[in-house]
Amino acid sequence: MVEFLMPTLGSDMTEGTLVQWKKNVGDRVAKGEIIAEVDTEKAAIEIESFHTGFIERLITRPGEKVPVGTVMAIIREEGKPLEQVKVEVKAETKPLVEPPPSIAKTTVPSPATGPGRLRISPAARQLAAELGIDPSTLKGTGPDGSIVRDDVLRAARVGGIPFTGPFPLRGDDKGEGQVSADRQTRIRQTIATAMARSKREIPHYYLSTVIDMGRAMTWLKGENLKRPVADRLLYGVLLIKAVALPLRQVPELNGLWKGNAAIQSHDIHVGVAISLRQGGLVAPAIHHTDKQSLDELMKRFQDIVKRARAGTLRSTEFSDPTITVTSLGEQGVETVFGVIYPPQVALVGFGKVVERPWVVEGQVVSRPLVTASLSADHRVTDGHRGGLFLAAVDRLLQEPEKL
């Protein structure tokens, strides 16, 4: 039996309103499936379940506002008999069993905790993962200073959680009770908080390079000529993939800054900046970006843009980006000097493609060029590594068929 809790989705979130349950008592819910829609004062967000099982009880009623960490529902885990409930509760105060493998990357202990293992009860570890809290930043009050469930809950309530990204603007605000209007002001405030924190805390450095897009554009044109209209690829998808792949070679740029240390992410989840027509922007993650084919990426990109604008993004899409890509070319801008989304450590920007003179094999020719820029956290990387990364992006775009 596990508890489904009101998660925290931002540093200043202390409570949330249940908009609706997506499951009924007795329904099966799979890990990663949407279980509820929660309004966080800034947006309605679809919350995913961290467990697979059956809904045993729905405690919170739609329209009810509850603090972060409140038990909202009970899920009976699949394949687990009722007797195990007691075992799990015991494990909280006296960790006898091996902690479960981390659910979210945020549970990876940071190097700041030293070579020893982080002392944390399995229940606290799981709760921290569900609430998106990095346990290495917590002070334990349990036996021998170990972190227990209460420590995690306390941290969640005081809001000591790193900001995880801007929130979506709900495109279709039907004014359902507490789900109030005026989201534009609030989304602006959210962006203000994140960007002020970024400029206050992150020592940015900036690099840029001009990339010849001739081969990539020709390849894309040929590819799209063969495809029915619904299967055509957008140029932006090539850029997203061309950023994701080199992160395997320069992994320092792919991760978060938490507590006082950099945490590289094993997985590459590129956040894609999407501007909203009403104003503001969101940058949700396309999970495992490096592993998707261009076709898959295109479908995922279409889907995420549509949902960003409709206000139906999922909680993990906000919490999981490990780097962000922004493309301002459509607005006619040539170069982006990006501001990093804390707690990420890098942002890659692309301007518009311009036809300019370019020297190819000693001849001046007209080529489509794009300026790629990198804003990176100098606490984590130096210009040398950043330069290697941008050079790798350039190389990949010269061989688009390898993307």
Q: Where do contacts with another protein occur on this chain (CB under 8 A)?
A: 171-172, 221, 224-225, 228-230, 232, 234-236, 275-278, 301-302, 305, 309, 330
Distance of closest approach, residue 171 Cβ to another protein, in angstroms:
6
Q: Could you tell me if 336 and 359 are in contact, meaning their C-beta atoms sit under 8 angstroms apart? A: no
Distance of closest approach, residue 267 Cβ to another protein, in angstroms:
25
Alpha helix positions (H), 31-178: 84-93, 122-131, 149-158
Distance of closest approach, residue 231 Cβ to another protein, in angstroms:
10
Nearer to another protein, 275 or 398 (CB): 275
Nearer to another protein, 201 or 231 (CB): 231
Nearer to another protein, 301 or 389 (CB): 301
Distance of closest approach, residue 3 Cβ to another protein, in angstroms:
37
Which tokens go with 135?
């346990």
Q: Could you tell me if 350 and 297 are in contact, meaning their C-beta atoms sit under 8 angstroms apart? A: no
Dmax over CA atoms of the chain, in Å, equals 78
The dihedral sign for the CA sequence 309, 315, 319, 322: negative
Nearer to another protein, 82 or 230 (CB): 230
| DSSP letter, residue 58 | E
Nearer to another protein, 144 or 330 (CB): 330
What 147-153 contacts at long range (C-beta under 8 Å, 24+ apart), as own/partner pairs, is 147/118, 147/119, 147/120, 147/121, 148/92, 148/93, 148/120, 148/121, 148/123, 148/124, 149/92, 149/121, 149/123, 149/124, 151/124, 152/69, 152/124, 152/127, 152/128, 153/69, 153/127
Nearer to another protein, 4 or 301 (CB): 301
Interatomic CA distance for residues 379 and 233, integer angstroms: 37
Give the relative orientation of helices 122-131 and 149-158 as an angle to the nearest 10 degrees: 20
Distance of closest approach, residue 159 Cβ to another protein, in angstroms:
31
Nearer to another protein, 78 or 231 (CB): 231
Distance of closest approach, residue 293 Cβ to another protein, in angstroms:
18
Distance of closest approach, residue 370 Cβ to another protein, in angstroms:
14
Pairing of strands 285-286, 270-272: antiparallel
Which tokens go with 155?
């941290």
Q: Could you tell me if 334 and 351 are in contact, meaning their C-beta atoms sit under 8 angstroms apart? A: yes
Nearer to another protein, 130 or 317 (CB): 317
The dihedral sign for the CA sequence 300, 302, 303, 304: positive
Distance of closest approach, residue 118 Cβ to another protein, in angstroms:
42
Which tokens go with 160?
């000591």
Distance of closest approach, residue 244 Cβ to another protein, in angstroms:
18
Nearer to another protein, 23 or 170 (CB): 170
Interatomic CA distance for residues 134 and 210, integer angstroms: 38
Listed in sequence order, the residues at least 6 apart from 230 whose beta carbon sits closer than 8 Å to its beta carbon are none
Amino acid at 318: F
Residue given tokens 């919350």 in the structure block: 47
Distance of closest approach, residue 310 Cβ to another protein, in angstroms:
8
Nearer to another protein, 124 or 239 (CB): 239
